[in-house]
Structure 1
Amino acid sequence: MSPSHPRNPRQVINFSKQKGKEIIANFDGGLITSDAGIVWIAELDKKLGITEKFGNCFQDHRHQSYVDHSVHELLAQRLYGIILGYEDVNDHDKLRHDPALKIALEKLNELEDKKGWLAGKSTINRLEYCPETILDQKTSRYHKIEPNFEAIEKSFVEFFLESYKKPPLSIILDMDVTDDQVHGNQEGAFFNSYYHGVCYAP
């Protein structure tokens, strides 16, 4: 992840000399990232069209003249962040300045421009958070991106079928449980002899 506010490249920090040699630190390395691999992930995504098709499963009720980040861009940024290991939405207040993520989202020509900043946590949160009490995104002040859950479920099946040259005649779903160990008196937990402990095993 790159720093949220790039330092002045002319800034120099002088440390104490050691054996007559000067020790200095400067910041003329330019924009640096440790997440360059996301550029290749983005290329694969563009080839398969995953985030683009996934974005079509949402209806955007925002006034488009005020929109800086499309639904597709928000989805791609969020998913790319998760792929990089940044699961928390708060991470995007720093990730929005990351040069590799900007390149992945085709903001290459705006690396130094504030207009090229990616979405921050508050904007992405509007994509994810929609209380059940909000029944109409059109009239809601903040939650105007409406997911079509039926289309989302269908898209997962389509992604799976597209991974085959010829659609399979049948699909076998092998459902397996995952144990969730508990260490107290949580309601609903029980001892499972297979997992050798008290757990939830849905």
Structure 2
Amino acid sequence: MTDCNLEPLTFSRLGSRSVVADFRGGRLTTDAGALLLREVADRLGFFEALDAAIPDPRHPVFIVHQQRTLLAQRITALALGYEDLNDHQTLRVDPALQLAAGQLPEQDRALASPPTLCRLENRVDRRTLVRIAEVLVDQFLTAHPEPPEHLILDFDATDDRVHGHQEGRFFHGYYDHYCYLPLYVFCGDELLAAYLRPSNIDAAKHARAVLKLLVKKLRATWPRVKLTIRADSGFCRWRLMRWCDSHGVGYVLGLAKNSILEEEARDWIERAQRQFLRTGESQRLFGSFVYGAKTWDRKRRVIVKAEHNAQGSNPRFIVTNVPGDPQELYEDVYCQRGEMENRIKEQQLQLFADRTSCHRFLANQFRLLLSSAAYVLMQALRRTALAGTELARAQVGTIRLRLLKAAARVVVSARRLVFHLASSYPYAGVFRAVFERVMGGRRPPAAESG
């Protein structure tokens, strides 16, 4: 049977010349930037740490692909933009991915097939998942050679829509579809935890347990570090606040408004209204008072933002045990929580954290952690090598398009592996600058214009 991929593709003529394409270019890759990811991962010992966290029950005699190779193949492919296991049917002979996975880029030594990678996903257990999660925190710790004085941990939940009959799927009324409800913890741009949960739970479910584990691990390395958690009103639970109070952890949490809160803040609310009516300009006033819901163990400090504009009154509240000016705590601390939502979108939309299509719940948790590992790898590249370039604050999709999706012709000889990148590559200057950073060069990075 004729392979249709070998048939030439004839396009419209250009003058007297025919224009023909085929798939016989030889050892080419469109992902030469995987070389940079390989160097970053090697310097972190990232794939080795993940490999050590996962038991391998296979008999050594029958192993064709080492587990470390499987992990490097899967995580690097996610970073390069390949979300499906089926993609690996052809990716397994891509020379850049072969090299990134630690294997010689030879056509007769293909990487793992989709079924092999699928078996890896489906043999993990809960203990293994916990160990993998610890590796992500360890990467955060090693990224800070000097102990930080203060860390703010952002907690948030989001929906992970499912389209089949996966274990643990439930219909969520707020999101109006069947989904999971993963819990994320970030510290700035750094990912600390990604925990998959069914959606028939409170948004704060297990947040206190995750916080306990993180605080224990962070303080074991940095005993004097000051810790503050930040989250929306879905995490305002008195047991969480009580634990923070008794363990020296600060919190700045959203607080859902109610009639009692609005009565306590009436002076600020009415004053904002009067000033708006007098000036016609939007007004924002801040104040604080002591409040305790009936379900709480005690009263706590509440900060009100009394806002009034053309749309009317819009008071908002947060509860905190952190001392400071109400306006600064609200605007400079609590409102910065929104940046975490960008990080979650980055991981879900650009690193495919929502690709939880396995039937087994634990396999889907493993997929979420693989996506998290890809985020940690890309963040390490951004943190260590992109400072001073035009990609310093770029999102994963932009970094992938401009830096990783680089075409190259690959020449393999007995002594060298040569990747000939395109002479017309528009970001060659950035690529070289990042290369020098990754390899430990002293030359400062030079930004390239688009």
What's the TM-score once normalised by structure 2's chain length? 0.33
Given candidates 129, 153, 176, the residue that maps to 2:122 is: 129
2:136 matches 1:156: yes
Contact 1:58 1:147 in 2 (8 A): no
Alpha-carbon distance in 1 for matches of 2:159, 2:145: 36
| AA aligned opposite 1:97 | V
Alpha-carbon distance in 2 for matches of 1:165, 1:16: 59
Given candidates 86, 91, 106, the residue that maps to 1:111 is: 106
Helix, strand or coil for the counterpart of 2:98?
Answer: helix
Alpha-carbon distance in 2 for matches of 1:22, 1:150: 59
Cα deviation code 1:74-132 (max 9, x no counterpart): 11111011111111111111110111101212323x5232xx10001000001101388
Alpha carbons of structure 1 residues 165 and 124: separation in structure 2 relative to 1, 3 Å: same
Deviation at 1:148?
2.1
Alignment of 1:27-42 (within 5 A): 29-42=25-38
Residue matched to 1:139: none
Larger radius of gyration: 2
Alpha-carbon distance in 2 for matches of 1:153, 1:20: 61
What's the TM-score once normalised by structure 1's chain length? 0.67
Alpha carbons of structure 1 residues 73 and 168: separation in structure 2 relative to 1, 3 Å: same
Alpha-carbon distance in 1 for matches of 2:159, 2:13: 57
Contact 1:74 1:119 in 2 (8 A): yes
Contact 1:36 1:100 in 2 (8 A): yes
Cα deviation code 1:127-170 (max 9, x no counterpart): 101388xxxxxxxxxxxxx9623322322221111011134466
Alignment of 1:22-171 (within 5 A): 22-25=18-21, 29-108=25-104, 110-113=105-108, 116-130=109-123, 148-168=128-148, 171=151
Structure 2 runs not aligned, ≥5 long: 162-169, 176-198, 204-450
Alpha-carbon distance in 1 for matches of 2:151, 2:16: 72
Contact 1:54 1:152 in 2 (8 A): yes
Bigger strand fraction: 2
| AA aligned opposite 1:155 | V
Cα deviation code 1:53-78 (max 9, x no counterpart): 01100111111111111111111111
